[in-house]
Amino acid sequence: MAYSAIAVANAFIEKAKERRISDLTPMKLQKLVYFAHAWSLAAGNEPLINDQVKAWKFGPVIDSIYQEFKSYGSNNITKLGTEFFYEDDGERLIRSRFVAPTVPKTDKMANAIIDTILEVYGDKSAYYLSNLTHEKGSAWAVTREHHQDGENKGFVIPDAIIGETTKKELGIE
pLDDT digits (tens, 9 = 90+) for 138-159: 999 999 888 888 788 889 999 9
* pTM for this predicted structure: 0.93
Note the pLDDT of residue 99: 82
- Contacts with 60 (C-beta within 8 Å, 6 or more apart), sequence order: 30, 31, 34, 53, 54, 133, 139, 140, 157, 162
Share of the chain above pLDDT 90, in %: 77
pLDDT digits (tens, 9 = 90+) for 8-34: 999 999 999 999 998 999 999 999 999
Element (H, E) at 13: helix 5-18
Ramachandran angles phi, psi of 106, nearest 5°: -75, -15
Do 118 and 19 touch, CB atoms closer than 8 A? yes
Note the pLDDT of residue 90: 67
